[in-house]
Amino acid sequence: MYQQNITSIIDNCDLQTAFSRVIKYFDPNKAKNRKTKVLDFSSFFSWTENDYKIFDIIKTRNSEGSVLDNRYDIIIYEPPVNQSLFSNAIESSKIFNKVLNIGGNILVKVKDFKTTTNGNAELKGSFDIKTIFESNDFYLFDQIVYKTRPTMNYHKSNNDNEITHLYFMIFKKKNPS
């Protein structure tokens, strides 16, 4: 139907196309004749008319109310790229554990970033997400790197060029019950 091979590194298309390939590849219902229920807990993806034919999509950043009353086959999560990454990811992973169907997938779009704590530079992002999700009964099933073009980092005084990338991290429940 829409099965495509996926590689561990994607660098030849725009972000929306890359994400579309990833979600379709990891759709647990792709071989079944039913729509996949998706909780889109991100701010980056715009769904197409064709996506709505394949997926039953709920797009929100609110982790209360009707979100908690449903179960989902796929959850898309984009943590903040700031100091609140850790607390946001802990809270979100606990909620996702309650609402993810058995055999479902969580697709996390995360970008590594530098932060300074007590004068020490630290790299935050994918490692933190992996640690947090694993401590909340998930395991990292797969990881795909999306390479973007080099960008100028204007927040640094010496204006060094940095090659940026982000990850699509795919998590599953450790002990589905």
Q: Please give the residue that has the higher pLDDT: either 156 or 101.
A: 101
85-137 tens-digit pLDDT: 899 999 999 999 999 999 999 999 998 888 887 888 888 889 999 999 999 99
Alpha carbons 28 and 42: distance in angstroms, whole number: 20
Residue 177: pLDDT band (50, 70, 90) is: low
Q: How confident is the model at residue 82 (pLDDT cuts 50, 70, 90)?
A: confident
User: Where does residue 168 rank: exposed (0-12), middle (13-18), buried (19+ CB within 10 A)?
Assistant: buried
Residue 48 and residue 57: Cα distance in Å, rounded? 11
pLDDT number for residue 156: 47
Model pLDDT for residues 26-56, shown as the tens digit of each residue: 999 998 888 999 999 988 778 989 899 999 9
Is residue 71 scored above 90 in pLDDT?
yes
CATH, domain range 9-173? 3.40.50.150
Domain layout of the chain by residue ranges: 9-173
* CA dist 159 → 116, 119, 156, 162 (Å): 17, 20, 5, 9
